């Protein structure tokens, strides 16, 4: 398959770590439950394509997200992880941590909200009550030597509350990072961010001692801004980017959320700019093509469509 012409963009970092979220953010939103064996095959293929960090599944309530109720089964099918940090999983509460630890995970992600409405809809509690729920989870995870990421959803806008002020998002980020998390991921759950807003939030976080070396970005592509926003974050010094193979994704508790930034679109852009990702674009596109057939619908990724159009 053709690749982009490579011309080094000197204002971008030399290397970017892609944090692949397709098996979790993508498959949590599928109308049907994908079999555990297909999920495990997807994760194996993504790892073989060079994705070193793959968010594998969620140990949330199966009543809330039945699509990922088979979390333990998927991890059992995969067998022991390589580095222990290569397969993070979402964990909302102590019950979820018990299940994740029993499944042998080495890395977890908690997930809070910048807005009260989404905290209620996604976690059944207020922003402050969610921080209280996460506190013992992070403390015990750290005692166990697990790596911990903190997501903050609705960092830029919320479908019920409208635009979210930078200071409000920064407060939510600081509250979760103060629990002792290793990495922060800024969630644009409904894809409404634009580049100036992204840089303004990164500046505000830096002002609170949360520098870009601890921050990842997580853009959904509802308004086609995910790649532009990612590039703005990379120019501001971020080096960890969340993306989803084939552009799968969405949040079942945020109706207007569509897929994440497609990993293929990100890899094409970075490869062309001479930024190392370690990802084999051909193998990744082949994986998304295979997954499209499994899910019986075309990938929304522009690069997948260009390189491997649906017949």
Q: Report d(CA 73, CA 62) in Å as an integer.
A: 13
Q: Is 61 near ligand HMG (CB under 6 A)?
A: yes
Of the pair 248, 307, the CB lying nearest Mg ion is at: 248
Question: Which span sits near ligand HMG by CB under 6 A: 61-69, 81-89, 138-146, 301-309?
Answer: 61-69
Residue 202 binds: one of ligand HMG, Mg ion, none (C-beta under 5 to 8 A by kind):
none
Of the pair 35, 62, the CB lying nearest ligand HMG is at: 62
| Catalytic position from the list 155, 173, 181, 251 | 251
What does the per-residue mask of binding to ligand HMG show for 18-47, with x meaning CB under 6 A?
-------x--x-------------------
264 membership: H or E segment, kind and range: helix 263-272
Q: Is 134 near ligand HMG (CB under 6 A)?
A: no
Q: How far is the CB of 300 from Mg ion (least distance, A)?
A: 15
Residue 96 binds: one of Mg ion, ligand HMG, none (C-beta under 5 to 8 A by kind):
ligand HMG
Question: Which span sits near ligand HMG by CB under 6 A: 79-87, 90-98, 266-274, 287-295?
Answer: 90-98
Q: How far is the CB of 285 from Mg ion (least distance, A)?
A: 22
Q: Is 218 near ligand HMG (CB under 6 A)?
A: yes
Q: Sheet with 57-58: list strands edge to edge.
A: 53-54, 17-20, 240-243, 215-219, 183-188, 147-153, 107-113, 89-90, 57-58
Q: Which residues contact 63 (CB under 8 A, 6 or more apart)?
A: none
In this structure, what token pair is assigned to residue 35?
């079999």
- Mark whether 251 is an active-site residue: yes
Q: Is 88 near ligand HMG (CB under 6 A)?
A: no
Of 22-41, binders to Mg ion (CB under 5 A) are 25
Of the pair 25, 183, the CB lying nearest Mg ion is at: 25
Residue 102 CB neighbours (<10 A): 11
Phi-psi region of 247 (alpha: psi -120 to 50; beta: other; left: phi over 0): left
Q: Which residues contact 96 (CB under 8 A, 6 or more apart)?
A: 58, 59, 60, 90, 137
Question: Which span sits near ligand HMG by CB under 6 A: 31-39, 59-67, 264-272, 288-296?
Answer: 59-67
Q: Is 153 near ligand HMG (CB under 6 A)?
A: yes
Q: Which among 302, 177, 149 is positioned nearest to 240, based on CA atoms?
A: 149
Q: Is 259 near ligand HMG (CB under 6 A)?
A: no
In this structure, what token pair is assigned to residue 272?
């062309």
Cβ pair 267, 304 in contact under 8 A: no
Q: How far is CA 77 from CA 35, 42, 73, 99, 146, in A?
A: 12, 12, 6, 16, 21
Q: Is 188 near Mg ion (CB under 5 A)?
A: no
Backbone angles phi, psi at 260, to 5 degrees: -75, 170
Q: Is 107 near ligand HMG (CB under 6 A)?
A: no
Q: Which residue is nearest to ligand HMG (CB)?
A: 187
Residue 60 binds: one of ligand HMG, Mg ion, none (C-beta under 5 to 8 A by kind):
ligand HMG
Q: What are the residue numbers of the active site?
A: 251
């Amino acid at each position: 398959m053709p690749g982009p012409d490579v011309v080094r963009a000197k204002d971008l970092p030399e290397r970017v770590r892609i944090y692949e979220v397709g098996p979790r953010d993508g498959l949590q939103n599928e109308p049907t439950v994908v079999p555990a064996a297909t999920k495990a095959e997807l994760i194996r293929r993504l790892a073989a394509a060079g994705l070193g960090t793959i968010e594998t599944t969620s140990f949330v309530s199966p009543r809330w997200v039945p699509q990922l109720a088979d979390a333990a089964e998927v991890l059992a099918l995969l067998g022991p992880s390589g580095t222990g940090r290569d397969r993070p999983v979402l964990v909302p509460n102590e019950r979820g941590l018990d299940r994740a630890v029993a499944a042998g995970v080495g890395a977890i992600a908690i997930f809070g909200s910048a807005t009260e409405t989404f905290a209620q809809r996604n976690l059944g509690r207020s922003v402050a009550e969610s921080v209280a729920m996460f506190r013992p989870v992070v403390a015990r995870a750290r005692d166990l030597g697990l790596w911990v990421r903190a997501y903050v959803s609705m960092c830029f806008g919320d479908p019920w509350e409208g635009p979210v002020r930078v200071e409000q998002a920064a407060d939510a980020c600081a509250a979760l990072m103060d629990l002792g998390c290793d990495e922060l991921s800024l969630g644009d759950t409904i894809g409404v961010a634009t580049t100036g807003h992204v840089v303004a939030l990164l500046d505000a976080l830096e002002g609170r001692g949360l520098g870009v070396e601890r921050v990842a970005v997580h853009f959904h592509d509802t308004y086609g801004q995910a790649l532009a926003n990612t590039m703005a974050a990379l120019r501001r010094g971020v080096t960890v980017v969340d993306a989803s193979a084939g552009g799968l994704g969405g949040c079942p508790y945020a109706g207007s959320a569509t897929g994440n930034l497609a990993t293929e679109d990100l890899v094409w852009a970075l490869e062309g700019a001479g930024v190392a990702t370690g990802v084999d674009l051909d193998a990744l596109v082949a994986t998304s093509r295979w997954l499209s057939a499994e899910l019986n619908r075309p990938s929304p990724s522009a690069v997948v469509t260009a390189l491997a159009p649906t017949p």
